[in-house]
A and B are shown apart, each in its own frame.
Chain A
Amino acid sequence: MWSIVLLVFLSLCAGVAAWFLFLWATRSGQFEDMEGPKYRMLDEDEETGNKKED
């Protein structure tokens, strides 16, 4: 019985943790720009250091 109670409790904790993650994502604007990120991957990465001079 207590193992079930513990498992139920743990699953609830995991669920609530995921919910908090979602709330954080909404608050911090992760869902605000659904278009931009797909273009961002095309941006040149500057950290590589050896920029080409044209």
Chain B
Amino acid sequence: MPTCEHCLIAFPSHRAVTATFGGSDKVFCCHACLGVYEMIHTEHLEAFYRKRSKWAPGPVVRLDTDPALFAETVRTIGEDLMEVEVQVGGIRCASCVWLTEKVLEKTHGIREARVNYATHRARIRWVPSTLSLSDILRRIANVGYQPRPLNLTGENQFLEDERRRLLTRLGTALFFSMQLMLYSAALYAGYFYGMPSQFRTLFHLTALVLATPVFFYSGWPFLSGSWRGLKQGSFNMDVLITAGSGSAYLLSIWQLVRGREVYFDTCAMIITLVLLGRYIEFGAKKRSTEAISRLLSLVPGTATRLVAGTDDPSRERSETVPVESVRVGDVLDLRPGNRIPVDGCVTWGTSEVDESMLTGESRPVVKTVGNDVFAGTVNRFGAFRFRVTAVGRNTALSRIVSAVQEAQSRRAPIQKLADRITGYFVPLIVLIALFTFTGWWISGRPAPEALMAAISVMVIACPCALGLATPLAILVGTGRAADSGIILRGGDTVEEMARSAMVVFDKTGTLTTGRPKLVSATGLGMTCEEALRVAGSLEQNSEHPYGEALYQAAEGLDLLPVEDFVALPGQGVSGRVAGLPVMVGTEAYLRSQGVDMEPLEGPDAVLPENPAHSRVFLAMNGRLAGFFHLSDEVRPEALPMVARLKSMGLDTMMVTGDAETVARIIAQTLAISEVRAAVSPVGKAEVVRALEGSGKKVLMVGDGINDAPALTEASVGMAVGGANDIALESADAVMLREDLMLVPRVLELTRRTYRVIRQNLFWAFAYNMLAVPLAITGWLHPIMAAGAMALSSLTVVGNSLRLHRH
């Protein structure tokens, strides 16, 4: 059976559609495929067909998974009905979700199957008397997805539970506060227009009933938090909230007994608004953690295990098993192009492994017997075997992911700035309250009345809008940043970025495009076009940026067939082009292969020596046949961007691994004041650390892979145009577009956001502080408390929304 040129599917020959392209006949399975092929050709995108051979899809693996691994998540929920939660690997889009659900729902014995689109988690209810768990797992595997137990996928169950608890508390607070405000509105009206006392008492009692669950249930985190804080002797925000709402609650009960005005609405609204702020913040945090845990999905679901007890290599057997059943001590086989499923130590074979996702080093690492290999990294060239040393949560990748998750859940951005202020504010208010009490006491009032005055100071001083001040501004600010193409990881990134004094750039891939272009080609003993044609043909299959540049430059020429292609990373490539041995690579590589470089040193070989260009040499039949100059182009927007940063009062610096001369030329073109050249990835981190040590906050802009250590070291690390998981891991901010003008734009935005946060904090306190003198004199009224509450909340919300403009 022939196979279709476009879709590669085999089909019966009588249905073939043939067409002629570039002088050769091509066969297609249908007219649609022919149409697509035609379109791709007329758009000069033939590279698609050339390149796709590299990512031929693997076979659909159908495996029996051990149901015992899922035992933890199985629950009995009724008479002959069970429920299980399974992580489904391999889900990419909404169609995958649909397919999995439909396949399961059509299975006899399954009552219900729902797959969560965001977490790729399936919840399945089934009748155990008709169907076993392993049948269900096999059903999922049969459509090509991998059922995996929850506990191994690193999904943070804790965060999910936390979110649910917070949502319940917030919802409760919102429901009761809403009701409470109805009665408060009636009471306010009654205050102005008069109200029979029995109605007033009724409404007061209703308000008490409604405020109680808000204070004790919704406010529980603050109550326990302030207790913990006080035990450590610190006045955190929880203490302020508890003091404010608690004193409002107690004061109101006392007032209720005396038949005076109550402050239950103040008590409830303080807690509700702070909870709302926390929920907003939590949502943002969870989103960024999800990106991290997605890193774990890089680990393949299956492994090839060698069956033990076969010493004779010719009789060796291997089996494909789910990665969950791999144990420490097993020997696994790994083919080129595959990701390594678990950590281990190489026992046979040699290969190169791309570990950039773990180490940030973009060059592949050579692995041979005795070297360690890590889960999630990619085997590039050779096949090898390794003995498993760590599985599941103990792999290096899992440990990194959980460390990042931990770091993220630890830092609560809202707490930082607000806590600094409340640290001073709470003692101050307590002090004022004490003075009020003693003042009243000395002036001869009875003790209960003096105490009331002191408590009413606490009530009015507690800023309701405090909880909203920071998260709301950050929500709007980061939303704006995302609209313009930058993802900011958290609230503290906004603060750090707003305060950064220096911007450090990486050169390759950041200030330059990172995709070299051919500048000139020179042929020795042949025309330059001929030299380019030979080099371009050889580089057809190369993945090196220089190779791709040569291939692209030669694209218009008629390329020659290539055999025996071998790539030597860092040196060059060799192979046979039209039957002749050809090498393309560095000067050192060609010399080491015995090529005479004499023609270059002769007096007649005029070399256009621009130090910013890189040179690649071509040898044919063991003789030097030409050379090419390649240059990495500076991004067009880099120059105005640097000027903009300078006008904003920021220092600029460039760090690069390239040679001094090259770096200087680029820095001069861009007017970057400081340059550090020939710096290793680790050296870059040291440069940043030294700058930070001198008291400057540094914003590091890099391409996210070989700059990973420096990005982590800097106050803020920003990754350019690589909105992938790897960049997210080490960077605090990620540019979604490759546009350097985003750097000054996001800096301006964060500065504005930070200013708005400070204004918000000021306004959150201001109205309440204005009312404090009235409370001291004993003139506090619920109308004032409500006014301070409403005005400060409205100001904070309005001020935050201002960030939407411009």
Q: A residues within 8 Å of B by Cβ?
A: 1, 4-5, 8, 11-12, 15, 18-19, 22-23, 26, 29, 31-36, 39-40, 42-43, 46
Contacts and interface: CB of A to CB of B under 8 A. Distances in A.
A42 B179 CA distance: 38
A10 to B, nearest CB: 12
A26 B209 contact: no
Contacts of B209: 12
Given A18-B175, A39-B94, A39-B117, A1 B198 contact: yes
Contacts of A4: 199, 202
Nearest to A14: B179
Contact of B167 (A5, A31, A33): A31
Contact of A36 (B97, B102, B198): B97
B437 interface: no
Interface string B86-110: 0000000010011000100000000
A12 B164 CA distance: 25
Interface string B196-230: 00110011001001100000000000000000000
Nearest to A32: B116
For the complex of A and B, the 8 pairs showing the least CB-CB separation, nearest first, are A36-B117, A39-B94, A33-B116, A35-B117, A19-B175, A15-B179, A35-B118, A22-B171
Interface residues of B, number: 29
B539 to A, nearest CB: 43
Contacts of B151: none
Nearest to B203: A8
B176 interface: yes
Contact of B118 (A18, A29, A34): A34
The interface residues of chain B, by DSSP majority, are classed as: helix
A46 B105 CA distance: 12
Given A8-B202, A39-B97, 12 more contacts: A8-B206, A11-B182, A12-B209, A15-B176, A15-B179, A19-B171, A23-B168, A23-B171, A34-B118, A36-B115, A39-B117, A46-B102
Nearest to B117: A36
A37 to B, nearest CB: 8
A33 B117 contact: yes
A46 B101 CA distance: 13
Residue with the greatest number of chain A CB neighbours at <10 A, chosen from B114, B117, B198, B206: B117
15 contacts: A4-B202, A11-B179, A12-B210, A19-B172, A19-B176, A26-B167, A29-B123, A31-B164, A32-B116, A34-B118, A36-B94, A36-B117, A39-B98, A39-B117, A42-B94
Contacts of B94: 36, 39, 42
Contacts, number: 60
B695 to A, nearest CB: 43
A12 B94 CA distance: 42
B205 to A, nearest CB: 9
Nearest to A36: B117
B244 to A, nearest CB: 24
A18 B199 CA distance: 25
A4 B202 CA distance: 9
Interface string B174-198: 0110110010000000000000001
Interface in B124-168: 160, 164, 167-168
B118 A36 contact: yes
A12 B206 contact: yes
B168 A33 contact: no
Given A1-B198, A12-B209, A36-B117, A26 B168 contact: yes
Nearest to A9: B206
A35 B119 CA distance: 10
Contacts of A32: 116, 160
Residue with the greatest number of chain B CB neighbours at <10 A, chosen from A23, A26, A36, A46: A36
Nearest to B283: A34
A44 B202 CA distance: 55
Contacts of A26: 164, 167-168, 171
Nearest to A20: B175
A4 B198 CA distance: 11
A27 to B, nearest CB: 8
A12 B179 contact: yes
Contacts of B202: 4-5, 8
B204 to A, nearest CB: 12
Nearest to B175: A19
B175 A22 contact: yes
A48 to B, nearest CB: 15
A32 B119 CA distance: 9
A26 to B, nearest CB: 5
A38 B384 CA distance: 46
Contacts of A11: 179, 182
Nearest to A5: B202
A43 B179 contact: no
Nearest to A39: B94
Contacts of B102: 46
Contacts of B206: 8, 12
Contacts of B203: 8
A4 B176 CA distance: 19
Nearest to A29: B123
Contacts of B182: 11
Nearest to B95: A39
A36 B114 CA distance: 10
Contacts of A5: 202
B282 to A, nearest CB: 13
A42 B171 CA distance: 30
A39 B98 CA distance: 9
Contacts of A15: 175-176, 178-179
A36 B116 CA distance: 7
Interface string B475-507: 000000000000000000000000000000000
B298 to A, nearest CB: 21
Contacts of B97: 36, 39
Nearest to A19: B175
A30 B114 CA distance: 12
Nearest to B115: A36
Nearest to A37: B117
Nearest to A26: B168
B15 to A, nearest CB: 16
A39 B116 CA distance: 11
B534 to A, nearest CB: 49
A2 to B, nearest CB: 11
Nearest to B209: A12
A14 to B, nearest CB: 9
B177 to A, nearest CB: 11
A34 B287 CA distance: 12
B140 to A, nearest CB: 17
A17 B167 CA distance: 18
Contacts of B210: 12
A40 B105 CA distance: 15
A23 to B, nearest CB: 7
A1 B198 CA distance: 8
Contacts of A39: 94, 97-98, 117
